[in-house]
Structure 1
Amino acid sequence: MQINKIIFSIVLLVCYQSYGQQTFTSILLDSKTEKPVVFATIQFNSKTGVISNDNGEFNITIKRDVKATDSLMISCLGYDEKRIPLLNFNNSTIYLTPQTVDLSEVLITNKNYTIDEILDKVKEGLLVNYDFGYTKRKLFYRTSNYIKMDKRYVDLEKSTIPEINQHFIDSLIQSIPKNIDNHTEILGELYGEIEAEKFQKMEILKACKLFDKSTEVNLKNYEERLNSILKKHVKRDSYFKIKSGWFSVKEGTDSSLFDDSTENDVTDTLLAEQRKKDSIRKIGFLHWRKMMIHQFENNNFIDSDNDLNFIHKSRRYEFELSDYAYINDMFVYVITFKPKRGEDYSGTMYINTEDFAVIRVDYKNVKPLSKFSLLGISNNKYLKEGTIIFQMSDNKKYTLKYRDETLGEKIGIKRPLKIVEKNKNVKGRRKQNEVKGEIHFIARSIEKTELIVFETETISASVYNNFKEKTLVEPIHLNQYDPEFWKGYNIIEPNKAIKEFKVISLE
C-alpha cells in the first residue's frame, strides 16, 4: 500500500511539472526575403525573455500554465513588433514584416543634429546612461572553440634513441585530431558592481562541456610511452639542451621519471592528488569562467582604453547618418562608421534619439588586428566581429542584454628542432643522446562567445557583501548535444554545429 502511495505521488509530481511549464520553439523569418531574423527579442514578461540565434531560432520556457491572455512580444531592429498568442501555439515559423519609417514624422519630432553633435551627446551620456551599480543578474553564457589543423608534420632527421623513430613520431601526430571542437555552457547569477577593475561574485547554477575526452586519453597514452622510453635511455642526473635555430634553452630531467616509491605510496599519493584536483577544478572553473565573463562584458566601447574606440576616438572614423528606425519602442539614429586613420573596425551604431544612449552596435574588423611572421613563426589575428545590445531597466538606465563575439586566429610554425641529452658527471663527452628534425604546424582557430542576461535586479551593497560564493558546481561532460540537458531553462538556442556535435567512437 505504501509503495502505491509513493508511485501515485511521483505520477502527480511529474504531471504537475509537465503541465506547470511549457516550452515554445520557433524560427523567425523575414516576410519578404525569408531570411532568418537574428538577435530578435522574444519577451513573455519583464523577467522571461530570450533572443533568436544566428539562424533565427529561439526556445522559450514559461514556468506556469498558459492563460488565454498570454502572448509573446517579438521585436527586432528594422521590423514591426509582433504579438503571438501562446494558447494553442503552433507557429513553427513566424514571419516578421520589415518596418518603414515616416521621415516626415522624423523631421517634425526631432531636432536636426549634425553627426558631430550626436557623437558629443553620446560621449556625454556614457557615464550616466548605463547602470554600473550593484545588481544581481541571471545569465546564460556559451563559448565555442573550433580548431582546424591545416598542417601537422615532423620530419625526423636523426635519433640516437631507437624507439623514437619516424613511425613513432607519425603515430603521435596522427593521435591529434585535425578538427577539435569544444563548447562550454553556463547558467548562473552575477552579483556586484560593473567595474573594469573589479570582479563580481558568481554562483553557477548549472553547466556543461561538450568535448571529446578520448583525445586527452590518447595523448596521455603517448606521454606514458614517451616517459617509459626516456626512463630507459636517459640518465637520472642528465639535463636537456633544446635548440631551434639560434634559440636554445636548458631543461633538467623530470624527477618523476625515476620515482622509486612503493606501489602503495603511489596509490595513496594519487588518491590524495585526485581529491585535491577535484576541489581545485571546481574552484578553478568558477573563477576562470567568472574572469572570462567579466572581461567579455567590460570589453566594450564604454571603456576609453578599449580597442572598440569608435566613440572615444571618433575623429579617426568616418560616420554617416544612414537611416532611422524603431527598436523596442525607441526611435533611434542608425549611424554607420568606418576607419579613416588606420583604425580597425567598421560597423553600425543604433542611438536613442531621446537620451543618446548607444543601445546596439554591430562591429567587424576591416584588417588583421595583428599579424607577424618571423623566423618560421607566424600569427594572424584575422577576425573580430560581434554585436552588443543594451536594454533599459526599471531605473531608466541601460544594462547589457546580449552580446556575441567571434574571434579568428591563424598560427604557424616551421622551425628546426634539436633536443640533446647532456651529462657532466660521466667520463668522456657530455652528449649522451640526440633527437633532431623539423616541425611544421599550421592551425586555425575560431572562438565564438555569447552572453544573454535574462533578469537584472538592483541590490544593495550589504546584499553583495553578505553573498558568499560556493564552488559546488563543475560542468557535466557531454559526448554529444543533449536537448534534454537544458529542458525547462531559457538559454540561447544552439547553432547547427553544436546540435550536430557528437564524439565518434573508435571501438
Structure 2
Amino acid sequence: MLKKSLTILFSLSYIYFSFSQQVSGKVLTKANEPIPFATIQIGENYGVITNEEGNFSIVTEGFKPSDSVYISCLGFEKKGLLLNEFTSKEYKLSEQINELYEVYLTNKPLTIDSIMYYVNRNLKKNYKNSLVQYDIFSRRTEYIVGKDADFEIDKSSGFKKKQLEAFNKDFDDLEQSLINNKSKQYTDFVGVLSIKNNEEAKLEVEKAIRLLDERNNQSVEMLAEKGKDIILKHLNEDKVYTVKSGLFKMSDSVSLKENNSKMEDTFNSMKFIRKMVHTMVENHGFSSKTILDFITDTKKYEYEIKDVTFIGSEMVYVIEYAPRRGSADFQGTFYVSNETFAILKADYQFAKGRIGEKLNLKLLLGVKYIEQNKKGFVIYKKHADGYYYPNYMTDQLDRYFYVDRPIKFKDNNSSEKVAFEFKVEGIFKEKNEILIMAEKDITATEFNAIKEKRKIDYETLKAFDPDYWKEYNVLEPLKEMKEFKVEE
C-alpha cells in the first residue's frame, strides 16, 4: 500500500513539473519594495534577472525537482530553495546584516587611488571582448513627446483656395498626431551576437516582434513618410523641382517619383540593428574608449568609498563618482570586488549641466538637436572561465529636436511654385535593454562562416501576448507594456 502511494505521489510530482515549466514571480524587500535586477539562478550559468518592477519569469524545463534555485542581489541575503519549492509567487529578501564596518576597519582597506589602480590593471584579466558569442534578448522602447508643430502651405501658384485648405487640413492632422499622441512602441528580439573585435560583429535574429499602433507610429521615418505623402498630394510627381530652404538651394533636380531607399524604416535593417546592439555591448565593455570612462579615465573624476557590502562571502566596495573636470560627463555609483577588483555593477547619468552630441544651427538654418538626460546601468557576471561578462545593460536617452524652416519647390519647366512653412519641436525618448542569456568562445573561422541576413522579419502584434516568449528566458515586460493594445 505504501509503495502504491509513493508511486502515485511520484506520478503527481512528475505531472506537476511537466506542466510547471515556467515560473513567474516578484522579488521584494521585507518592506514590500520591489528589488530590480535581482538574479534568479538555476545551476551555474542559467537564470534571469528581475525587471525594474521586481518581476521575473523563468523557464524550468529540463531541471530536476531536487535542483537548487538561488535568488540574490547585492546588499541582500541570498535565498536558496529546491526547484520543487519554487513556484509562481512573491519572494522576499532580507537586507545583508553583518559587521561590515568592523570587517572594513580591521582589514585596513585600500585607498580609493589603490582600488582604481587595481581595477584598471586587471581589466584585461577580468573582461573578454573579442571572439565571443552571446545569446541575447533585446528590447527597445520609444516614443515622442511633442512640444510644438506647425506645418502650412504659405504660397502656391496654380492651385485653388479649397485645395490649399484641404492640404493644410492634412498638415493640421499631422501636427495634432505629433502633439497629442502618447502611445509607445516596443521592439523585442532574440538572437545571437558574434563579436570578432571592437569593429566587427554579426547578428543572427531568431525571433522578433513589434508592439506598434501603425496609425500612431511616431518614428522619424514615419513622420517623414507622412509629410512626403502630403506633399505628393500637392505636387506633381511627374515633374522635377528645384528645392530651396531660405536662402540655400538644397537640390536642383528633385523627382518625387523616385523611390528613396533612405526613407525605408531603418528598424528592418539588420545592419542598423546589429550596429546598435554591438555598440551598446562595446560601450559597456573595456576594449576601447567607451561610455564607462569614469572607470578608465581616473583623472577626469573624483571618487569616494561610500560603503562596503557583500555578495555571498565576497566583499564589495561601493564607490560614488562625479566629474572633476569639464570634459567628464557622468556621475553615479559602481561596485568593485575586493578579491578580483572587477566591476560587478555600475550606473551612470549625465551630471548637472552636461549634454551629449548637439547641433545648433537655429539662427542660420532653423535646426537644433541636443542629446539630454542620458542614463544607464550594467551588471556583470563571473563565469567558470574566470572572465566577467555583461549580464544586463540598459541605456536611456532623450533627443531634443527643433526644426523651423521654409521650404520652396519650383517646377523646373514652368513658373509653378509651392512654399511650405515647416516648424516642429519635441523630444524623441528611447530606452534600449539587452539581456545576455548565454555566451561562449568562438574562433575567427567560425565568425567568418556566419552569414548575416539583410533584413529582420518582425511580427507586428496589436496586443501584448504573454505567451510569445514562453520558451525563452527573456526580460519580464513592465506593466505598461503588458497593457499595450491597439484599439480598433
Which category describes the TM-score, using the shorter chain as reference length? 0.7 to 0.9
Give the equivalent residue in structure 2 for 1:72.
69
2:317–2:336 CA contact under 8 A, matched in 1:
yes
**CA–CA separation in structure 2 for the residues paired with 1:421 and 1:126:** 60
Name the larger-Rg structure: 1
Structure 2 residue aligned with 1:404? 394
In the alignment, structure 1 residue 63 sits paired with structure 2 residue 61: yes
Q: Does 1:19 align with 2:21?
A: no
Equivalent AA in structure 1 for residue 481 of structure 2: I
Judge conservation of contact 1:21–1:65 (CA < 8 Å) in 2. Answer: no
Alignment of 1:400-439 (within 5 A): 400-415=390-405, 417-423=406-412, 431-436=415-420, 438-439=421-422
Q: Deviations over 1:381-422 (max 9, x none)?
A: 22111111111111111111111111112112234x141414
The answer on whether the counterparts of 2:464 and 2:482 sit within 8 Å (CA) in structure 1 is: yes
Residue 232 of structure 2 is aligned to residue 227 of structure 1: yes
Q: 1:101 to 1:285 in 2, by over 3 A?
A: farther
Q: Deviations over 1:190-215 (max 9, x none)?
A: 3344x22222x332221111112335
Equivalent residue for 2:476? 493
Letter in 2 for 1:457: K
Verify the 8 A CA contact 1:389 1:402 in the aligned structure 2.
yes
The answer to whether residue 191 in structure 2 is matched with residue 188 in structure 1 is yes
Structure 2: distance between partners of 1:243 and 1:473: 36
Q: Return the match for 1:332 from 310, 316, 323.
A: 316
2:126 to 125, 129, 133: 129
Which residue identity is paired with 1:52? T
1:271-282 superposed matches below 5 A: none
C-alpha contact (below 8 Å) 2:407/2:422 kept by paired residues: no
Distance 1:79 1:310 in 2: 26
Deviations, residues 431-479 of structure 1 (Å, cap 9, x unaligned): 322325x332111121111111111223444443444446696121111
Change (3 A) 1:214 1:235: closer
Instruction: Tell me, yes or no, if structure 1 residue 313 matches structure 2 residue 297.
Output: yes
| Aligned-partner Cα distance in 2 for 1:421–1:81 | 71
How far off is 1:226 after superposition?
Answer: 4.3
Q: How many Å separate the matches in 2 of 1:225 and 1:382?
A: 31
Aligned counterpart, 1:6: none
Q: CA deviation at 1:30?
A: 1.4
Query: Residues 161-217 of structure 1: CA distance to partner in whole angstroms, max 9, x if unpaired?
Result: 336524422323414453352211111123344x22222x33222111111233579
Matched-pair identity in %:
27
1:105 corresponds in structure 2 to 103
Q: Map 1:146-225 onto structure 2 (within 5 A).
A: 146-160=143-157, 161-162=159-160, 165-175=164-174, 176-177=177-178, 178-193=181-196, 195-199=197-201, 201-215=202-216
SS in 2 for 1:179: coil
3-state SS of 2:208 partner: strand
In the alignment, residue 474 of structure 1 is paired with which amino acid?
D
Q: 1:317, 1:339 within 8 Å by CA — same for their partners in 2?
A: yes
Inter-CA distance 134–378: structure 2 relative to 1 (3 Å threshold): closer
C-alpha contact (below 8 Å) 1:189/1:203 kept by paired residues: yes
Per-residue CA deviations over 1:94-153 (Å, capped at 9, x if unaligned) read 111111342223344x45211111111111111221123433321111111121222222
- State the alpha-carbon separation in 2 of the partners of residues 255 and 24 from structure 1: 54
Q: In the alignment, what sits opposite 1:4?
A: none
Equivalent position to 1:449, from 424, 427, 432: 432
Residue identity matched to 2:207: K
Q: How many Å separate the matches in 1 of 2:274 and 2:136?
A: 12
**Does 1:395 find its partner at 2:385?**
yes
Q: Which residue of structure 1 lines up, in the alignment, with residue 306 of structure 2?
A: 322
Separation (CA, whole Å) in 1 of partners of 2:253 and 2:446: 51
- Asked if 2 retains the 8 angstrom alpha-carbon contact of 1:146 and 1:179, the reply is yes
2:114 maps to: 117
CA distance, structure 2, for counterparts of residue 41 and residue 57 of structure 1: 11
Q: Read off the aligned partner of 1:189 and give its amino acid letter.
A: V
Secondary structure of the corresponding residue to residue 465 of structure 2: coil
RMSD, matched Cα: 3.3
The correspondence for 1:354, drawn from 328, 339, 357, is 339
1:92 aligns with 2:89: yes
In structure 2, the CA distance between the partners of 1:379 and 1:328, relative to structure 1 (3 Å rule), is: farther
**What amino acid is aligned across from residue 445 of structure 1 in structure 2?**
F
The amino acid of 2:355's aligned partner reads L
CA contact (8 A) 1:139 1:453 kept: yes
1:331, CA displacement in angstroms? 1.7
How far is 1:340 from its partner? 2.1
Q: Retained in 2: the 8 A contact 1:285–1:474?
A: no
Check whether the contact 2:171–2:230 (CA below 8 A) recurs between aligned residues. Answer: no
User: Normalized against structure 1, the TM-score is what?
Assistant: 0.81
The answer to whether the 8 Å contact 2:268/2:456 transfers is no
Closer/same/farther in 2, CA of residues 328 and 136 from structure 1, 3 Å limit? farther
- Equivalents in 1 of 2:225, 2:272: separation in Å? 24
Aligned pair count reads: 457
Give the letter for the 1:70 counterpart: D
Shift of 1:485: 1.0
